[in-house]
Amino acid sequence: MKRRTRWLFAFLATQLLGCAARHPDGLRYAQVLQGPEEPRDVTRMIREPSLDCLRQAEQHVEQPSDIYAAPLPPALRHGYADVVRNLHPSAKQVLRRTDGIWFARNIPGAAARFVPCRGRGKAVGIVLVDTSQKPLADTSPDADMPMRFWQLLGGDITVERSAASTDAIEPNHNAARYVILHELGHALSLLAGEFTLGPEQQFALGSGETFLAFSWQQRDLREPGFVPSGLAFPEWIFIRQTLDSDATWLAPGYQRPRKLDTANACTLVDKLPLAGFVTPTAASAPTEDYAELFAHAILADEGKIHPKDKYSVTLQGCPTQFMLAPYFSEGVSAKREYIEGQLGL
Ligand SMILES: [Zn+2]
């Protein structure tokens, strides 16, 4: 696997534990997004984690010394200060509500993680970025990242951009920016109350009455656990296995299904957007669905993804297929309107 693909893959294979939990009263988007812009200089959010957050972050690295101690190397600080300064205003606002962004030299299985923890004030966690996987050195546009997420299914994919999205792409908005947007999506999902935190500071699924209801349903009323409502179970398991993630916490008691045959795998390209998912990663878990949708909503608001963008997808053993930008597909439209409405975009 190419190095670049490997860190992406690792980033996508986020492991989040879940358990059934009651949903808190109401959603809190307005408080999160329309609150005071403090600190006004968002680069101040690049700061050492508070004690509890540091302890939680240590769970995601091999040894505590893998987490940087202050002060950061100047080049690292300046590089990420640029990324943070260039975030979308909504993303900056979410970052201000976290305990901040910090760095590790190696995060096994991920290029970045949102680490839930009891931070300063009402903060819900930190964004921890793995610097050894060099997302800063990856200068490809953030708008390329959705395409690369599709490549995780093992195929080749290219995008023919419309003139509108080509014009909107900013050369200094690189892959690291997308990584951070995705993690901030996880943060917002907690801050706004779409998901909750369990007693061990793990993500817990809500009642299924909010965001969750668009594409997920309880698999079995007698047991907790959600599965995609618009995707056949074996196809979903195929995606999770391809992304090297385990479905057991989401769908307790699931059995490894009969192997998905190639013909079915080929049709996934059509089925994922129809089932409401913007990337295979989004279909891997409700939490990833949310983080991916948030990142897409930001890119769309910036004009970098456009309904007329054409994707060419060639999965192994499948004929080349074409699709329009999944974010604008009919299957995603209700969820798209929901997130854009909540974000005020
Ligand atoms: Zn994630």
pLDDT tens per residue across span 155-192: 888 999 999 999 999 989 999 999 999 999 999 999 99
Backbone angles phi, psi at 83, to 5 degrees: -60, -45
Residue bearing the bigger pLDDT, 301 or 219: 301
Same domain, 260 and 285: yes
Residues ≥6 apart with Cβ < 8 Å to 118: 50, 52, 53, 201
Same domain, 288 and 155: yes
Same domain, 188 and 241: no
The CA 12 to ligand 1 mean position distance, Å, reads 6
Same domain, 181 and 169: no
Same domain, 85 and 155: no
For the cut 90, the answer to whether the pLDDT of residue 334 exceeds it is: yes
Q: Is residue 78 assigned to a domain? A: yes
The CA 99 to ligand 1 mean position distance, Å, reads 18
The CA 260 to ligand 1 mean position distance, Å, reads 25
Is the peptide bond prior to 280 cis by the omega test (within 30 degrees of 0)?
no
The CA 245 to ligand 1 mean position distance, Å, reads 12
Dihedral, CA of residue 217, residue 221, residue 225 and residue 229, to nearest 10? -20
Same domain, 252 and 341: yes
State the average pLDDT for the chain: 86
For the cut 60, the answer to whether the pLDDT of residue 222 exceeds it is: yes
The CA 248 to ligand 1 mean position distance, Å, reads 17
For 233, which DSSP code? H
- What per-residue confidence (pLDDT) applies to 5? 37
Strand partners, 217: 227
The CA 101 to ligand 1 mean position distance, Å, reads 15
Q: How does residue 257 score in pLDDT terms, banded at 50, 70 and 90? A: low
Give residue 255's domain range. Answer: 140-173+202-345
pLDDT in tens, 45-61: 999 999 999 999 999 99
Q: Is residue 10 assigned to a domain? A: no
For the cut 50, the answer to whether the pLDDT of residue 291 exceeds it is: yes
Q: How does residue 315 score in pLDDT terms, banded at 50, 70 and 90? A: confident
Backbone angles phi, psi at 205, to 5 degrees: -80, 145
Q: Is residue 127 assigned to a domain? A: yes
Q: Is residue 197 assigned to a domain? A: no
- What per-residue confidence (pLDDT) applies to 13? 34
The CA 13 to ligand 1 mean position distance, Å, reads 8
Q: Is residue 19 assigned to a domain? A: no
Q: How does residue 209 score in pLDDT terms, banded at 50, 70 and 90? A: confident
Percent of the chain whose predicted confidence (pLDDT) is above 70: 87
What would the mean pLDDT of 224-229 be, rounded to a whole number?
86
For the cut 90, the answer to whether the pLDDT of residue 250 exceeds it is: no
Residue bearing the bigger pLDDT, 230 or 240: 230
Same domain, 182 and 306: no
Same domain, 160 and 188: no
Q: Using alpha carbons only, how large is the chain's radius of gyration in Å? A: 19
> Mapping DSSP to helix (H, G, I), strand (E, B) and coil, where does residue 125 land?
strand
Q: How does residue 293 score in pLDDT terms, banded at 50, 70 and 90? A: very high
The CA 113 to ligand 1 mean position distance, Å, reads 7
Residue bearing the bigger pLDDT, 168 or 199: 168
Same domain, 85 and 148: no
- Composition of the chain by helix, strand, coil, percent to 5: 45, 15, 45
- What per-residue confidence (pLDDT) applies to 1? 35
The CA 107 to ligand 1 mean position distance, Å, reads 14
Residue bearing the bigger pLDDT, 115 or 268: 115
CB 335 within 8 A of CB 293: yes
What would the mean pLDDT of 306-312 be, rounded to a whole number?
93
- How many domains is the chain partitioned into structurally? 2
- What per-residue confidence (pLDDT) applies to 19? 33
For the cut 50, the answer to whether the pLDDT of residue 90 exceeds it is: yes
How remote is the C-alpha of 315 from its chain's centroid? 22
- What per-residue confidence (pLDDT) applies to 287? 93
100: left (phi over 0), alpha (psi -120 to 50) or beta: left
Same domain, 33 and 149: no
What would the mean pLDDT of 117-131 be, rounded to a whole number?
89
Same domain, 159 and 262: yes
The CA 14 to ligand 1 mean position distance, Å, reads 5
For the cut 80, the answer to whether the pLDDT of residue 281 exceeds it is: yes
81, two tokens? 């200060």
- What per-residue confidence (pLDDT) applies to 261? 67
For the cut 80, the answer to whether the pLDDT of residue 283 exceeds it is: yes
- What per-residue confidence (pLDDT) applies to 155? 81
Same domain, 231 and 85: no
The CA 288 to ligand 1 mean position distance, Å, reads 5
For the cut 70, the answer to whether the pLDDT of residue 33 exceeds it is: yes
The CA 278 to ligand 1 mean position distance, Å, reads 14
Question: From CA 11, how far away is CA 31, in angstroms rounded?
Answer: 29
**β-pairing verdict for 196-197 and 203-204:** antiparallel
The CA 291 to ligand 1 mean position distance, Å, reads 6
3-state secondary structure 53-111: HHHHHHCCCCCHHHECCCCCCHHHHHHHHHHHHCCCHHHHHHHHCCCEEEEECCCCCCC
- What per-residue confidence (pLDDT) applies to 200? 81
Q: Is residue 3 assigned to a domain? A: no
Q: Is residue 125 assigned to a domain? A: yes
Q: Is residue 211 assigned to a domain? A: yes
